[in-house]
């Protein structure tokens, strides 16, 4: 059975992969170490609850084999890599029964891993009654329709007015594994990208969704499907295509990303033109991987940047298109479809986000210009 919530749109997504600093405090790591020692003294019965910490245990898979322990640990637990490294340094992680010698140690398939993670400190983010459309919700997760202009989680310069502030008002119970400032956040959308975004309410759901997204981002088998709508300016020369490239930081502009790099991760984007206009096009895109800014970068690097993209785009030469871009004021990108298998019920969900009013106005204007 498939549950569908009406919608339409598109945006760039990335896994909450630890680009931000770890939220867990040093005191929390120390407390976890004490809890782990106490569990060992009490015969270590394998329980998940260790006083002030949570014990995670799994076996390295073939897909994880060969990777750095800190990278594998961060992806498995859906925590920042810096926190994974601190857990390893504090000897709260064992690999094949022994504390690893270094965070960068390579792992092998079949090796057992045990990690003791401190519980997050109590939430200090302020709940705010902000408009936040809900596309789907149950006891384990919620899919929100993030408006453009809203930052996902609190950070320097954005302590209020974020999606997390709104979520805490709507539902206090969010998974804590993402940290104090990012409760429930499994993946992100850029501030000026709108559309469907899933948030977990408990740690089990969070870990499962994060693992699915990590597999998807790596190009592995995953139930997650993410489709987007974008307005390109100019229009792509072809009607459809697939971009398979390397992907990484821009060699000069380090705050930007590029698909024109000699080394990097792989990135795959499938796309198809939905409607053509004079000097622009409505394009549907599907992510096979999920790199930061992937859609915006792939489009721009192939000659058709998104309308009003201040980072990867440019001012249109046509005055009418330039006026539309200025009025829009944000990249024309919307997360239209988010589909996945519910990690707790096994139900196939396909959530659709309706095209927001600002993009609908742009499309209406483009149609009138033909």
Last residue of one domain, picked from the residues 118, 139, 170: 118
Would residue 160 count as lying in a domain?
A: no
Last residue of one domain, picked from the residues 57, 92, 118: 118
Does the pLDDT of residue 188 top 90, yes or no? no
Report residue 255's pLDDT band, with 50, 70 and 90 as the boundaries: confident
- Tokens 């204007």, residue? 365
Would residue 82 count as lying in a domain?
A: yes
Q: What is the CATH number of the domain that holds 332?
A: 3.30.2350.10
CB atoms < 10 A from the CB of 254, how many? 8
Q: What is the CATH number of the domain that holds 56?
A: 3.10.290.10
Would residue 140 count as lying in a domain?
A: no
Does the pLDDT of residue 122 top 90, yes or no? no
- For the annotated catalytic residues, the residue numbers are 190
Tens of pLDDT along 196-247?
999 998 888 988 998 888 888 777 788 999 999 999 999 999 999 999 999 9
- Whether residues 236 and 355 fall in one domain: yes
Would residue 360 count as lying in a domain?
A: yes
Does the pLDDT of residue 31 top 50, yes or no? no
Does the pLDDT of residue 20 top 50, yes or no? no
User: Which has the higher per-residue pLDDT, 97 or 13?
Assistant: 97
- Give the separation between CA 34 and CA 27, rounded to whole angstroms: 11
Total domain count for the chain? Answer: 2
pLDDT of residue 166: 86
Would residue 250 count as lying in a domain?
A: yes
Does the pLDDT of residue 179 top 80, yes or no? no
pTM for the model stands at 0.68
Q: Residue range 74-101: average pLDDT? A: 89
User: Which has the higher per-residue pLDDT, 215 or 105?
Assistant: 105
Q: Residue range 307-316: average pLDDT? A: 97
Would residue 340 count as lying in a domain?
A: yes
Residue numbers of the domain that contains 100: 26-118
- Whether residues 229 and 362 fall in one domain: yes
Would residue 47 count as lying in a domain?
A: yes
Average predicted confidence (pLDDT) for the chain = 83
Would residue 36 count as lying in a domain?
A: yes
Report residue 175's pLDDT band, with 50, 70 and 90 as the boundaries: low
Last residue of one domain, picked from the residues 118, 140, 170: 118
pLDDT of residue 40: 39
pLDDT of residue 311: 96
- Give the separation between CA 136 and CA 5, rounded to whole angstroms: 7
- Whether residues 231 and 113 fall in one domain: no
């Amino acid at each position: 059975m498939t549950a569908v919530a009406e919608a339409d749109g598109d945006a760039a997504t990335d896994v909450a992969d630890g680009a931000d600093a770890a939220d867990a405090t040093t005191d929390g790591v120390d407390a976890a170490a004490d809890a782990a020692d106490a569990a060992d003294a009490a015969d270590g019965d394998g329980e998940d609850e260790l006083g002030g910490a949570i014990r995670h245990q799994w076996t390295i898979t073939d897909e994880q084999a060969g990777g750095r322990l800190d990278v594998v640990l961060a992806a498995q637990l859906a925590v920042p890599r810096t926190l994974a490294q601190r857990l390893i340094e504090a000897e709260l992680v064992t690999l094949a029964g022994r504390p690893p010698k270094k965070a960068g140690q390579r792992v092998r398939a079949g090796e057992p891993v045990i990690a003791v993670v401190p519980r997050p400190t109590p939430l200090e983010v302020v709940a705010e009654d902000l408009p936040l459309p809900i596309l789907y919700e149950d006891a384990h997760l919620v899919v929100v329709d993030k408006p453009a202009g809203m930052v996902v989680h609190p950070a320097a310069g954005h302590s209020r007015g974020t999606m997390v502030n709104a979520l805490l008002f709507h539902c206090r119970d969010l998974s804590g594994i993402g940290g104090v400032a990012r409760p429930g956040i499994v993946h992100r959308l850029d501030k000026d990208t709108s559309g469907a975004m899933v948030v977990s309410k408990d740690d089990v759901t969070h870990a499962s969704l994060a693992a699915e997204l990590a597999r998807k981002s790596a190009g592995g088998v995953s139930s997650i499907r993410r489709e987007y709508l974008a307005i390109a300016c100019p229009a792509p020369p072809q009607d459809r295509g697939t971009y398979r490239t390397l992907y990484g930081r821009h060699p000069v502009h380090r705050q930007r990303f590029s698909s024109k790099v000699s080394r990097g991760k792989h990135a795959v984007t499938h796309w198809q033109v939905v409607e053509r206009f004079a000097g622009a096009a409505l394009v549907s895109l599907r992510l096979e991987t999920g790199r930061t800014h992937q859609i915006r970068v792939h489009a721009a690097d192939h000659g058709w940047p998104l309308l009003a993209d201040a980072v990867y785009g440019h001012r249109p030469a046509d005055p009418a298109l330039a006026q539309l871009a200025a009025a829009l004021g944000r990249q024309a990108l919307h997360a239209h479809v988010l589909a996945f298998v519910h990690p707790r019920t096994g139900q196939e969900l396909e959530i659709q986000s309706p095209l927001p009013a600002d993009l609908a106005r742009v499309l209406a204007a483009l149609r009138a210009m033909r």
